[in-house]
């Protein structure tokens, strides 16, 4: 059973979106369990964002996917390792069959460990995985929209650990220079990365002040609160076209939705075993139907 995504900002209720999140989280833990590989932590933490984006914010048509994306809003996942959440949301919103989620990270699959255009999976317009590159790509795509007279928007997502890459700040510097005001970048501000807390590994300092200093319009929200997230995304949309690029810093919890995974970096990149899978699924009602 798939739930088609609407072509424009929709009237899907917060309760319905939260219900979809439960299914997406089931998919995430089942996918990484199925291949005993992958990154469940931040996938779970960003579930509300992906569901809000694909069911309520993006103006897109899953059945008319084209690489150039003219006439549609675009999304680029820069922290490609959280592919499970993206694949689940793309499948349930109609880009490809839900049953294909069972092939994640397996030989001959279109669902590679990190997202890619190489296998022709609908919904994906850029390879990502090597961190720090997606903001530049989003800026380029946004500039192309301006050249084409296309009023649609470009969204990107980045991990907070990813912000340690220098290219991110090259890109941050360039967006105001070229008045890229049709771009909404978002950051999964969970404070954790593979080796531990971001503050221990390589502190980001005053993150909102840094983005502001680079010339961005900065919004902050709780990325695990669907109502607050939706309001913030809509506020960001209302601020486009005003000369500044926009960034939303989303406070999230890595592992959100599974009690023994939440709030720790330990589940950044390891899969659950059979017993852990059962415990996780018991907390996550099946709402759209398992693959």
Around 142, how many Cα atoms within 13 Å sit in the side-chain half-sphere? Answer: 30
Of the candidates 3, 29, 31, 27, which has an alpha carbon nearest to the alpha carbon of residue 17?
3
- Taking CB under 8 A as the criterion, the residue among 3, 59, 110, 125 binding other proteins is 125
Separation in Å, CA 111 to CA 98, 167, 211, 229, 290: 12, 26, 33, 28, 17
Binders of other proteins among residues 151 to 210 (CB under 8 A) are 166-167, 170-171, 173-174, 177-178
Beta carbon of residue 40, minimum distance to other proteins (angstroms, whole number): 23
130 binding other proteins? (CB under 8 A): yes
135 binding other proteins? (CB under 8 A): yes
DSSP labels, 121-162: -TT--S---STT-HHHHHHHHHHHHHHHT----EEEEEETGG
Asked if residues 180 and 143 have their Cβ atoms less than 8 Å apart, the reply is yes
Beta carbon of residue 185, minimum distance to other proteins (angstroms, whole number): 13
Query: What is the rounded distance in angstroms from the CA atom of residue 27 to the CA atom of residue 100?
Result: 11
- Taking CB under 8 A as the criterion, the residue among 74, 111, 249, 280 binding other proteins is 74
150 binding other proteins? (CB under 8 A): yes
Interacting span for other proteins (CB under 8 A) from 38-46, 64-72, 94-102, 222-230: 64-72
64 binding other proteins? (CB under 8 A): no
247 binding other proteins? (CB under 8 A): no
- Binding residues for other proteins (CB under 8 A): 67-70, 74, 76, 116-118, 125-130, 132-145, 147-148, 150, 166-167, 170-171, 173-174, 177-178
């Amino acid at each position: 059973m798939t739930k088609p995504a609407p072509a424009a900002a929709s009237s899907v209720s917060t309760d319905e979106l939260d219900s979809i999140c439960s299914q997406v989280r089931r998919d995430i833990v089942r996918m990484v369990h199925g291949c005993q590989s992958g990154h469940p932590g931040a996938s779970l933490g960003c579930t509300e964002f992906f569901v809000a984006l694909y069911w309520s914010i993006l103006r897109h048509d899953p059945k008319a996917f084209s690489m150039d994306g003219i006439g549609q809003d675009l999304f680029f996942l820069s922290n490609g390792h959280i592919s499970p959440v993206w694949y689940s949301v793309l499948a349930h919103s109609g880009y490809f069959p839900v049953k294909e989620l069972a092939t994640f990270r397996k030989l001959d699959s279109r669902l590679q460990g990190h997202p890619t255009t190489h296998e022709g999976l609908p919904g994906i317009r850029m390879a990502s995985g090597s961190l720090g590159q997606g903001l530049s790509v989003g800026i380029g795509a946004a500039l192309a929209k301006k050249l084409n007279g296309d009023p649609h928007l470009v969204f990107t997502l980045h991990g907070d650990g990813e912000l340690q890459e220098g290219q991110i700040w090259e890109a941050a510097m360039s967006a105001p220079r070229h008045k890229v005001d049709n771009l909404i970048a978002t950051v999964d501000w969970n404070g954790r990365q593979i080796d531990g807390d971001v503050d221990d590994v390589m502190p980001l300092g005053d993150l909102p002040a840094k983005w502001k200093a680079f010339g961005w319009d900065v919004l902050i929200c709780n990325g695990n609160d669907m109502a607050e997230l939706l309001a913030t995304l809509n506020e960001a949309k209302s601020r486009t076209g005003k000369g500044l690029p926009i960034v939303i810093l989303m406070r999230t919890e890595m592992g959100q939705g599974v009690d023994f995974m939440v709030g720790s970096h330990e589940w950044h990149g390891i899969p659950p075993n059979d017993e852990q899978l059962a415990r996780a699924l018991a907390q996550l009602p099946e709402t759209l139907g398992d693959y």
